Each structure stands twice: as structure tokens, then as C-alpha cells.
A and B are shown apart, each in its own frame.
Chain A
Amino acid sequence: MQRLKKIGFLAIATSLFSTGFTATQGTLGPTSTGTVNISLTIPQLVKISGLSDIALGTISGAPVSGNTTACIYSNNSGNYAVTVTGSGAGGAFTIAGPSPATTSTIAYTADWIANSITAPLTAGTKLTGRTGANTTSVNCAGGSNATFSVTFSEAAITAVPSGAYSGTATILISPT
């Protein structure tokens, strides 16, 4: 049995605040008017939620794929970037086993699917230019708008001893 666990991650990036406004004072007279400026900066915020583990069970053929949907929120006009790191050496996309041993690993490929675009992921490399994140609800009102998909090839599966394999993929969402 192969099991892939994913962890959501919230990333926050701040934008620097700067305005050139200055309050103006009123003058002495039959009426007097002054002005003040008010400013507040909302930082760039993103959130990933709604993830599920990918439990492929006992496979009967190859290749085999699994996925989980996710909710991505971004107040950066729905734009974001995603970086996925596996639990293999150096963050590689691999799972280890057979349980309880971790002497063998099975490599997998991963894709990020959002806004009708399927993009292959490279372990530890930021995939920029993602769009379609929810901009009005941090939990997508209970829905989802992205899919994280993994695929194990026949060659990778047949090269290792039988048993249970598992690993973790860490998914980092950033505003840009």
C-alpha cells in the first residue's frame, strides 16, 4: 500500500507601505478647513486548505495515479505560486518502504491542476503564474479550485519489493 500525505501551508508576504500624503492645516477666518489622510495596508495573503491524504491502497496494475483537491485563497487577484517538496532525499518526490523499513523508494511525478491548466511540478521548484484562487472566501465556501496529482510509473513500482510505501508532500503556496 502506498500512502502520500500532504500538508497545507499558509504563506504571507507583506508589501511595504508608503504614501506621500500630508495633513493640511486650516487658516484663521470666518470658516476653516483642514484635511487629514488615512492609510492602511492589507498584506498579500494566501491559504491552502481542504487537502486530503492520497491513499492508493493495494494496487493491481501500473501506472497508478491519485490526487487530492484543495482550496487556494489569494487576495492577490487570485494569483499565486506553488512549491511542492517531497519527503525523499533532498526533497525528492519519492515514497519509502516497505514498511517498517525505508530502504527502498518509489519515485513519482506530480502535477498541479488549476483553472483548467495542468502543470508538471518539479520537486522544490516554485511554479509561478497560477491563477484562479478564490478571492472572497479563505475556505472557498467549502469548495475546491485546485488539484494535486501524483503518478507512479510501472517501472518505478516493479523495481521495488512488495509492501507498504508512504511519504509526505509539503505544498507551499505563496502570493507570487
Chain B
Amino acid sequence: MRTRSIIIALLSLITLSAYGLVQISSLQDFNFGTATLPFSALQQTDSICLYNSANPPNLIVTITGLHDAAGKFQLANGSSRLVYQVKLSNTNDTNYVTFTPGAANLRRGQRNTPLCGAPINRYANFRITIPAASFNDSLTAGTYTDTLSILIVPQ
């Protein structure tokens, strides 16, 4: 009886769960440089690491940034604005979801290691597209910028 109590007490001391730890990493800036004539759609895709220690490693992803009243992301150069699109795939696929500012979307991460490591199949695809229709005569010359904040939480 006495021995059993000691064992139970020890088990209670080491109870600790890492369930639900998440991390987003491998993010890079998107620099489209200087647009050239004739203007056409521009697109860049980056591989990013979405880690979730849970099984399955599903995540709720919310992306915020400058946007218009219609819920479209915008690059800004003073008061001159230029619409762009934000898309994110699941890890290891090209099943993209188009994000709207502040809206949560379910995405699948990976649970191998927080910083993903070398295998490319541990990464998701993060894509920025500037549609051809965004280029119009009213755009003032200069550099258009925005900063996206990407929040991930366990599902």
C-alpha cells in the first residue's frame, strides 16, 4: 500500500503535455522589384514552415494586413493603393486557400520538428499574386508596400 502511493505521486510530478505547441517560420519578404511594361500579373511563392505538435497538426491561420472596404489586401504608396491576393496551401500540397484579411482558415501543418528542416515536403506554399487588373493608369509612381501578419493557433 505504501509503495503504491509513492509511485502515484511520482507520476503526478512528471505530467506535462506539449500538445498544441505551434510555430510559423521560414518566412521571407516578397520583393517584386520594379514593374515593367506592359504590366501583367505578378506572382511569387515562398515555402513556409507551419508546425503543430498535435496529431493531426491542423491549424487555424489568420492573416491581417492593409485592406480596402471590400476585404481585399492592398499595397500602399501614400494614398495610392494596389490590390493583391494572399494564398496559402496545406503542408506538402498545392491546395491553396485564398485569404481575406482577418478571416480564419483551416490549414494542415506538420509535426516532425518545429523548424521543418530539410525535406521540402514539410513545407506549405505561401503565395502572393498581384493581378493584372490591379495595374491602372491612376497608380502614382513609387514603391508600394504592405506588411502581413500571420497568426497560427492549434485547431
Q: Chain A residues in contact with chain B, CB under 8 A?
A: 12, 14-15, 17-19, 21-45, 73, 75-77, 135-138, 175
Chain A, residue nearest B135 (CB)? A42
Asked if A36 and B33 make an inter-chain contact with CB atoms under 8 angstroms apart, the answer reads no
Which chain B residues lie closer than 8 Å to A33 at the CB level?
24, 149-152
Residue of B21, B42, B150 near A36 (CB, 8 A) is B150
Asked if A40 and B137 make an inter-chain contact with CB atoms under 8 angstroms apart, the answer reads no
Asked if A42 and B23 make an inter-chain contact with CB atoms under 8 angstroms apart, the answer reads no
**Minimal beta-carbon separation of B45 from chain A (angstroms):** 12
**Contact pattern, B 15-40, Cβ under 8 Å of A = 1, otherwise 0:** 00000111111111111111111000
A29 to B30, CA, bound (A): 26
Asked if A35 and B27 make an inter-chain contact with CB atoms under 8 angstroms apart, the answer reads yes
A22 to B10, CA, bound (A): 47
Looking at B114, B128, B140, B146, the one whose CB has the most chain A CB atoms below 10 A away is: B140
A7 to B98, CA, bound (A): 47
Asked if B138 and A135 make an inter-chain contact with CB atoms under 8 angstroms apart, the answer reads yes
Looking at A15, A32, A41, A76, the one whose CB has the most chain B CB atoms below 10 A away is: A32
A-B contact pairs, 10 of them (CB 8 A): A26-B22, A26-B24, A29-B23, A35-B148, A36-B29, A42-B77, A42-B140, A43-B35, A75-B139, A75-B141
Interface SS majority for chain B = strand
Chain B, residue nearest A10 (CB)? B37
A48 to B148, CA, bound (A): 38
**Minimal beta-carbon separation of B48 from chain A (angstroms):** 8
**Is the C-beta of B130 less than 8 angstroms from some C-beta in chain A?**
yes
Docked complex: B75-129 residues within 8 A CB-CB of A:
75, 77, 82, 84, 114, 126, 128
Asked if A34 and B32 make an inter-chain contact with CB atoms under 8 angstroms apart, the answer reads no
Which chain A residues lie closer than 8 Å to B152 at the CB level?
26, 31-33
Residue of B30, B114, B138, B142 near A37 (CB, 8 A) is B30
Chain B, residue nearest A28 (CB)? B23
**Given contacts A21-B145, A75-B141, A175-B141, A39 and B30 within 8 Å (CB-CB):** yes
